[in-house]
Chains A and B, each alone.
Chain A
């Protein structure tokens, strides 16, 4: 059983913020039809191989897999009027429309919300863009590194003595979660009232929401916070410490005197617990650089996992700064089946991440690989819209389903 059984989404979006939102909903059983076109391939189809940097066949593209699992894939060249007419037919049999063109493009294509609600009065439509559909900067270029800088997160991330930090994937996918939530809220409203609606989502605002407490500090106190690395306003020690091996690190955070004493014991330095430089939270915070040096002397002798197990055993929060190899081999993540293997017709076996939640009655799941370009033209245009095989072939040949 699937939580979102019976929900059909027609997905005109690209890159991550839109496609990953609909993938999240597909994990819970929504049927997602991803619209693509050979005239302008998704950027995740055209990115080169992440390691060799060699160009890929678009059907083998690496990052496309991450945001398009479970989906049906069709080709539709929206610069053709007949394609636009078919898009409307698809909307007619769908519950949700998602798009991520620059604001105004859907209107130019003849696929604005006002048009689509004529076709399907209770449609839920979400537009996701860098700065939202309105306002003086709505037409600005807005890749992830740009909108996360504008929204203030880049400035708050980095070494205290260094530059701000560029963000990419995670700020797009963060917005994908927000977009999925908005769609679910609108679907619930539609179930209760029979009414659809239009949702205008801004990625810049999505990022600003996750620095809400820092924005409150400015609003309440006029304070402009800056970069603090791994440090906390009250806790110390509170940092990442180097471990045995190359570029290996463990995060350790101590909130109470009890945890501090346990850490000192575990390091074989019980006298530090009483040391006047470190005996309470206030002086520990004051002397945290010295504290970091002492802890680092100890952590350097162990792997991140050894530090985690020794410290967690005595109630101290220590977790490695996990890399991808750690995670794939990790006993905890393996017990939770955080990774799974799927079969892809061109790539073969492929490891992907499982959905991040476990639902007891309606398990979130991955049922199929990300679609090949136009893989489901027949199923969607034939099965759903009733076009004959000959019509489909003709529309493909004429560049409409292209």
Chain B
């Protein structure tokens, strides 16, 4: 069996919904052993969010949960119970990284803050992921994924470049994009701290602000104000020409920056007469007459499909691409050539195609080791084999609602 990049790394997760679970999923997919803790009876709320198989809500059939928890082991544990706390400490003793997303103060309130945990494991990298970080006046503010995206600055700027309509609200991107992105940011910090742990034997506490993680995706426009005295907005994201253009079966994106790309576009369109007018002679004039130009371009595009425009355009060197929907993404020949989608079997959903990862490692390829865990699926394995509890003890802990 080929080795994995992070085999031997042990991770404990106490997270819900998207950002934290995505952070530890990234590590699990790279080979770390991730034990996900869920509260008995409550469980990760992602289990109660769609999409559900056949639209029938069921805690083991949420596509959101299944995607975010591949390759993990799952246990249940009640931290409000003293026996639960003791078990948690035993688990912490044996791990390298703890990923958590509770409100600041939650862990110290339980007597399980970083200062206490480092007493039992000095190598622990505790990674805390919260909307506004562990410090500052907003640290306790309530913040759902919509609020988070707008807290990060990109909401105010979306949609721009041809999408801006005065008096309509700024928008988030996709569904949970801001949460995925900040979970990814946390994984980078956790793994950086783990590298140092391997060098020195020392752990540390990593405080990840999701808001700052999103700001870090667009530093340039955010710092306009102090550096340039201007404020970036949807209105300042002006388009030269091209951009989103309607075509026969949807929309395409046309991103022309160089003269040779414009020439290639003319060739694609069969050298139309209108394009020879002075008002389209160079980048500046095309930009000044962009509204008229875009109408002419759209008129031509509307006679062709996304796929035609994509492949025949790119073959000539035109930077053009389709706005694909999810069906088209799944059908992409590029993605299937690269085996980006993988079939994973799960007891409650049968075989389903999942996105894998955006990087291919030559020595340690991506593998789906296991589907997302059923609630408490690995209690016996972790509490019995790993921590040495007997079957009777495990049964008693279960009856007492500890696990």
What 1/0 mask marks residues of chain B from 33 to 57 whose CB sits below 8 Å from any chain A CB?
Answer: 0000000000000000111111100
B174 to A: closest C-beta gap in Å: 5
Residues of B within 8 A of A168 (CB): 161
Residues of B within 8 A of A163 (CB): 162-163, 244, 246, 251
Q: Does B371 contact A (CB under 8 A)?
A: no
A163 to B189, CA, bound (A): 36
Which of B176, B255, B338, B349 is A146 in contact with, Cβ under 8 Å?
B255
A201 to B191, CA, bound (A): 18
B319 to A: closest C-beta gap in Å: 4
B51 to A: closest C-beta gap in Å: 4
Residues of B within 8 A of A291 (CB): none
What 1/0 mask marks residues of chain A from 240 to 263 whose CB sits below 8 Å from any chain B CB?
Answer: 111000010101110100000000
Residues of A within 8 A of B139 (CB): 332
Residues of B within 8 A of A152 (CB): 324-326, 328-329
Residues of B within 8 A of A336 (CB): 133, 135-136, 209, 212
Taking a contact as CB atoms under 8 Å apart, the answer to whether A229 and B171 are in contact is yes
A193's nearest neighbour on chain B, judged by CB, is B3
Residues of B within 8 A of A316 (CB): 142
B142's nearest neighbour on chain A, judged by CB, is A317
What 1/0 mask marks residues of chain B from 136 to 160 whose CB sits below 8 Å from any chain A CB?
Answer: 1111011110111111111110111
CB<8 Å pairs between A and B, sample of 25: A3-B195, A132-B338, A135-B333, A146-B253, A149-B322, A157-B171, A164-B244, A170-B154, A170-B181, A177-B185, A188-B191, A208-B340, A214-B326, A216-B66, A216-B352, A216-B354, A218-B330, A322-B152, A322-B155, A323-B225, A323-B233, A336-B135, A357-B186, A359-B205, A361-B193
A209 to B176, CA, bound (A): 11
A210 to B31, CA, bound (A): 20
List the count of A-B residue pairs having beta carbons below 8 Å apart. Answer: 508
Taking a contact as CB atoms under 8 Å apart, the answer to whether B171 and A165 are in contact is yes
Which of A24, A321, A333 is B150 in contact with, Cβ under 8 Å?
A321
Q: Does B175 contact A (CB under 8 A)?
A: yes
A72 to B126, CA, bound (A): 32
Taking a contact as CB atoms under 8 Å apart, the answer to whether A359 and B161 are in contact is no
Interface segment among A33-41, A75-83, A136-144, A382-390: the answer is A136-144
Q: Does A147 contact B (CB under 8 A)?
A: yes
Taking a contact as CB atoms under 8 Å apart, the answer to whether B218 and A173 are in contact is yes
Taking a contact as CB atoms under 8 Å apart, the answer to whether B161 and A166 are in contact is yes
Interface segment among B75-83, B85-93, B359-367, B388-396: the answer is B359-367
Interface segment among A84-92, A231-239, A280-288, A391-399: the answer is A231-239
A226 to B332, CA, bound (A): 18
Q: Does A200 contact B (CB under 8 A)?
A: yes
A136 to B334, CA, bound (A): 6
B353's nearest neighbour on chain A, judged by CB, is A219
A50 to B227, CA, bound (A): 11
Q: Does B112 contact A (CB under 8 A)?
A: no
A285 to B: closest C-beta gap in Å: 13
B207-239 contacts to A (CB < 8 Å): 207-209, 211-213, 215-228, 230-235
**Most chain B beta carbons < 10 A, residue from A188, A210, A249:** A210
Q: Does A186 contact B (CB under 8 A)?
A: yes
Interface segment among B5-13, B99-107, B267-275, B376-384: the answer is B5-13
Residues of A within 8 A of B176 (CB): 210, 213
B156 to A: closest C-beta gap in Å: 5
A233's nearest neighbour on chain B, judged by CB, is B50
What 1/0 mask marks residues of chain A from 325 to 369 whose CB sits below 8 Å from any chain B CB?
Answer: 101100111011011000000000011111111111110100000
Taking a contact as CB atoms under 8 Å apart, the answer to whether A195 and B363 are in contact is yes
Taking a contact as CB atoms under 8 Å apart, the answer to whether A197 and B181 are in contact is no
Residues of B within 8 A of A218 (CB): 326-327, 330
Q: Does B387 contact A (CB under 8 A)?
A: no
Taking a contact as CB atoms under 8 Å apart, the answer to whether A205 and B335 are in contact is yes
Residues of B within 8 A of A185 (CB): 5-6, 30-31, 191, 361, 364
Taking a contact as CB atoms under 8 Å apart, the answer to whether A188 and B5 are in contact is yes
Q: Does A268 contact B (CB under 8 A)?
A: no
Residues of B within 8 A of A188 (CB): 5-6, 9, 191, 194-195, 198
Q: Does A101 contact B (CB under 8 A)?
A: no
Taking a contact as CB atoms under 8 Å apart, the answer to whether B355 and A208 are in contact is yes
A357 to B135, CA, bound (A): 12
Q: Does A279 contact B (CB under 8 A)?
A: no
Taking a contact as CB atoms under 8 Å apart, the answer to whether A158 and B159 are in contact is yes
B330-357 contacts to A (CB < 8 Å): 330, 332-335, 337-338, 340-341, 349, 352-355, 357
Q: Does B401 contact A (CB under 8 A)?
A: no
Residues of B within 8 A of A239 (CB): 146, 169
A143 to B254, CA, bound (A): 10
A120 to B: closest C-beta gap in Å: 15
Which of A3, A134, A217 is B63 in contact with, Cβ under 8 Å?
A217
Which of A154, A179, A213, A317 is B143 in contact with, Cβ under 8 Å?
A317
A119-143 contacts to B (CB < 8 Å): 126, 131-132, 134-138, 140-143
Q: Does A54 contact B (CB under 8 A)?
A: no
Taking a contact as CB atoms under 8 Å apart, the answer to whether A357 and B185 are in contact is yes
**Most chain B beta carbons < 10 A, residue from A162, A188, A234, A238:** A188
Q: Does A108 contact B (CB under 8 A)?
A: no
Q: Does B180 contact A (CB under 8 A)?
A: yes
Q: Does B73 contact A (CB under 8 A)?
A: no
Taking a contact as CB atoms under 8 Å apart, the answer to whether B358 and A206 are in contact is yes
Taking a contact as CB atoms under 8 Å apart, the answer to whether B330 and A219 are in contact is yes
Q: Does A62 contact B (CB under 8 A)?
A: yes
| Interchain residue pairs A-B with the least CB separation, the first 6 | A216-B63, A217-B51, A361-B204, A240-B169, A205-B358, A206-B358
Q: Does B320 contact A (CB under 8 A)?
A: yes
What 1/0 mask marks residues of chain A from 173 to 199 whose CB sits below 8 Å from any chain B CB?
Answer: 111011111101111110111010111
Taking a contact as CB atoms under 8 Å apart, the answer to whether A319 and B141 are in contact is yes
B178 to A: closest C-beta gap in Å: 9
Taking a contact as CB atoms under 8 Å apart, the answer to whether A251 and B155 are in contact is yes
Q: Does A28 contact B (CB under 8 A)?
A: yes
A146 to B318, CA, bound (A): 11
